[in-house]
Copies of this chain bind each other. A is one copy, B any other.
């Protein structure tokens, strides 16, 4: 085809309106009209592969292809849009990687089915949450011990005898206690922690900065506050609290095991959580 002069499309120098898809394409007429009718028209905003992602994802959202149905193959899409197969491939492969599509060699590309509730709830650092709400965040270390695993406390996923640091910490929002934290740190992985006083940076933040790139498993439950916890958090015994347990791993080694206990009516987990990356597409 007319090889070049298409890169210019990526910039701001767009001319045609949203419906006119491409500008100087040679064969106007039937093909583009079909596209417009099908609602498949490109919008001219951003790179071509992004436009194609949006066009295809938009059609799926609008029910043009139902779950499980087959999409046109790369060659067909490529000639429909008048772009190379690689460009279509990039767009479709990305949608597949994001979970919208399933691709099988020889069989074709299908709208993903059984997209179950893949909703995910972001779990943020409490300091960030408090700060974002415009409140004053403070914390206080209540207790700190060095010991070995199995001596009084047992960290299941860690061999007995491993040196660990235990921390107890209270978190405040505008002076009100909102969360109690009890943490174990693996000293084999982070020996430097013994020299850290935690008078400025909170343990969670310190660990994230020090040992990034980790994975974790969580569990979130509701529990009634014990008398001791209730006293610490300044609520009456039995108040509903959110209990979050998190174990963090780095290269398959446990780094830290932490229990958060938050007062129910002073703290909530929340977030606009998306079935993966639907927002990226601006639909």
Residues of chain A having any CB pair with chain B under 8 Å? 60-62, 67, 100, 115-125, 128, 204, 208-209, 212-224, 238-243, 246, 250-251, 262, 264-265, 267-275, 278-279, 283
Q: Report the Cα distance A240→B272, complex, angstroms.
A: 25
Across the interface, A222 reaches (CB within 8 A) one of B120, B122, B222, namely B222
Q: Are A220 and B115 in contact (CB under 8 A)?
A: no
Query: When chains A and B are docked, how far (Å) is the Cα of A191 from the Cα of B281?
Result: 27
Judging by beta carbons under 8 Å apart, are B224 and A61 in contact? no
Q: How far is the CA of A120 from the CA of B224 in the complex (A)?
A: 25
A217, A222, A272, A275: residue with the most chain B Cβ atoms closer than 10 Å = A222
Chain B, residue nearest A263 (CB):
B222
Nearest CB to that of A61 among chain B residues?
Answer: B213
Complexed CA–CA distance, A271 and B246 (Å): 10
Chain A to chain B: the 8 pairs with minimum beta-carbon distance, closest first: A222-B264, A219-B270, A120-B120, A217-B272, A240-B240, A222-B222, A222-B240, A220-B269
Cross-chain contact B218 with A273 (CB below 8 angstroms):
yes
Contact call B251/A208, Cβ cutoff below 8 A: no
A212 touches B120 (CB 8 A): no
Residue among A119, A270, A274 with the highest chain B CB neighbour number at 10 A = A119
**In the docked arrangement, what's the CA distance between A40 and B269, Å?**
40
> Is there an interface contact between B61 and A215, defined as CB atoms closer than 8 Å?
no
Most central of A115, A221, A239 by chain B CB within 10 Å: A221
Within the complex, which residue of B118, B125, B268 is in contact with A220, where a contact is CB–CB below 8 Å? Answer: B268
> Whole-angstrom distance between the alpha carbons of A220 and B115 in the complex?
22
Instruction: Report yes or no: A273 in contact with B217, Cβ–Cβ below 8 A.
Output: yes
Contact B124 A250, beta carbon cutoff 8 Å: no
